[in-house]
Structures are given as structure tokens and as C-alpha cells.
Structure 1
């Protein structure tokens, strides 16, 4: 049984098609980590929201949870909104260990991959 979860946390948008690359990212990540449950959660405008996902995971006895903000930068949502939500979730689910890592766009490997893509566009 899966004991760990990875939540890819994105902003959300009005257009359902906006979620397609995040769904592909989820599926690619799940294929690479079959022993970990990989879920998508959104801040607003789309479902599921982060509290719903954490609630479902805890209900399934998955309490080792890592949240990856799939944002290019650390604006107000990542610096202010996400920590407040996670603090509330930690109070609501004290049995869960919820870790939040840096925004994807702040990670050097992600930036290098994006730079490689941009340089390749010149070819």
C-alpha cells in the first residue's frame, strides 16, 4: 500500500484546458514513482483544492505528504497563501507530516531545463 504522497500544487484557471500540462506532469511523475501517490491540487478556480486532496490522503492513511508548488516564481500565493493553508492543514491533521518544497521555478534544475528549451528554440 502507498504510504507517501506528492501533491503538485498549481494556481488554477477558468479554462479546463489550462490543466492539461499539469495533468501530464502528474502522469509522468506517477509513472516514475509508482510507489508514491501523485495528486494535483489547485489554489483557486479549479478542483480539487489542496484541503480536499489532503483530506482524501489522510482518509486513505497516507500521512507522509510533500507539496510541490508548480509555480515559476514565489509570489504572494506561494509566500503567503500556501503557508497559511498548510498551517491550517497541519492543525486539522496533526497525524500528517506535510512538507512544502520551493516553487518549481526557483529550482536550479528546472531553470536550466527551461533555459535549454529557450536556447533550443533559436535552432
Structure 2
């Protein structure tokens, strides 16, 4: 297995009781898979939904991943990202000692995402202004 295939992406979202809530997150995972067909991508949820972190990680390890990039799909780094996620990763490291886990900042804190959200807000304002008499 080459180095590109030994690296996987674990997207981590909160989860909700309403299955429709997951659609944007599933769309992110599908988009990454489509644009990086050789990279294993898993979407995991903290609660209410499946797969959880352990199940998603097991799938990545079974696909041959020895390095897992963990991207929290949260707008900010609240308690789940700062406290719960590191504890979950400690458990995964103990379960999969041959795998390196790299935790990245919450997606909402990345400059490109901040700019995209600002762009959406500006676009909304511009559309509203253009439609006013």
C-alpha cells in the first residue's frame, strides 16, 4: 500500500435525533470522496447517530490507514472539541497503537470557512438590497 492510501480522513460531527440534520455532513463526506477517490473518508458522530468514532476508525484501519486526519465539523471549539474529542482520541490511540491520529482545528475556525460564511452573509445582504425598492 502506498503512502497516499495509508492516510485517511475522519470527519467528526455532533449528531442529532433528526436524521435530516446529518445531510450537510454527509454531503461534505461525499464531496471529499468524489474529489479524493483514493483517500478513505469516514464520518463519525459523537452521539445519537452512527457510526460513532470507534466504528468509523475501525473502518479506516480496516482500509489500511495508518495515519488518520481528524477534522471536527463544528463551527467552534466548545467543550466537545476541547474535552470530549481528545478523550475519544486517547481511547482510539490505545485501541489502535500503530495508527497516528492528527487532530485539526474545528472546521468553523479555519480561515477559508470563516471567509465562506462571511461571503454567504454578504451575498444575502446584497440580494436583499437589490430586491428592495
Give the TM-score band, short-chain normalised: over 0.9
Pairwise mapping of residues 1-123 of structure 1 onto structure 2 (< 5 A)? 2-123=5-126
The root-mean-square deviation of aligned C-alpha atoms, in Å, is 1.1
What's the CA shift string for 1:18-59, capped at 9, x where partnerless? 000111111111111112111110000100001111122223
Structure 2 CA distance, aligned partners of 1:118 and 1:37?
Answer: 33
State the number of aligned residues.
Answer: 123
3-state DSSP class of the match of 1:7?
Answer: strand
SS in 2 for 1:36: coil
Gaps of 5+ in 1: none
Contact 2:11–2:43 (CA under 8 A) maintained in structure 1:
yes
Give the alignment's TM-score, normalised by structure 2.
0.88
Moved over 2 A (4+): none
Partner Cα separation in structure 2 for residue 35 and residue 58 of structure 1 = 15
TM-score (norm 1): 0.95
**Unpaired stretches in structure 2, ≥5 consecutive residues:** 127-133
